[in-house]
Amino acid sequence: MRPYVFAGGVAVLTGAASGIGRALATGLAARGSHLALIDRDEAGLEAVTAGLRELHPSLRVTVHPFDLTRTAQIPALAGDVLRDHGRVTLLVNNAGVALGGTFEQLTLEEFDWVMDINFRAVVALTKAFLPALRSSLDAHLVNVSSLFGLIGPAGQSAYSSSKFAVRGFTEVLRQELTPRGIGVTAVFPGGVRTGIARNARVGAAVSAAETQAGQREFERLLRLDPAEAAAIILRGVERREARVLVGSDARLLDLLARLFPASYGRVLEPLQRRGT
């Protein structure tokens, strides 16, 4: 496929109010993309949008506050975006939430909350925007999985399940859509300095001490600047890469999972203790 052209395109981006999403919005605007920004954090979304409009007055940047648990309303959201922009050339399913606790400590409702946002919303958004992508020349789809879509560490049953599901869904879409001229990229970020650890929910049965220890451990692994992560992702989109590993930790653990698919947990423990 030809390289993806950002300039003049219309990008739909979820989770745009902070973290990697905010950095992606900044990078897309700098490359000349019009933007439809989606997030449940309306105030954060407005702040990002105001800055982009000031820096790039020639671009059309629209705001779409939305809770992705409302999957039944996603077709209406897509309709709003298409009325504002008329077309879509790039869909970036970036939004995600985290939930700490062993599987025994989670309720099914908590588990489903993660799956609703991290996976079912990705499916619903892709379904809703696919006709627009198919009608655009050289369109592209990006689904953000995770390092935990490559490995399944203890205490991440809901999050890893959702991100492995995104990985599998995206691999199928690549086989189905690439022959039709739509590029498909799966993104696997490692430890990026975002608020995901601070904002993560914990299972109802998780103690306060476990919660604090888990947050400290998670925060310690978040090292890569979001702007650098966004630059890696957008470079992969431009090149139509099938898989984008973001960060040295993602590359290392992807290799470990390939070399030791049944025993990488034993290899991972000493690496975590050393802070790798």
Report the alpha-carbon distance of residue 198 to residue 218 in Å, rounded.
Answer: 9
* DSSP-assigned states of every residue in the chain: -PPP--TT-EEEEESTTSHHHHHHHHHHHHTT-EEEEEES-HHHHHHHHHHHHHH-TTS-EEEEE--TT-GGGHHHHHHHHHHHHS--SEEEE-----EEB-GGGS-HHHHHHHHIIIIIHHHHHHHHHHHHHHHSTT-EEEEE--GGGT---TTBHHHHHHHHHHHHHHHHHHHHHGGGT-EEEEEEE-SB-SSHHHH-EE-TT--HHHHHHHHHHHHHT--B-HHHHHHHHHHHHHTT-SEEEESHHHHHHHHHHHH-TTTHHHHHHHHHHTT-
Assigned token pair, 245: 């590993």
Catalytic residue among 66, 159, 164, 218: 159
159 given a catalytic annotation = yes
Q: What residues are annotated to the active site?
A: 159
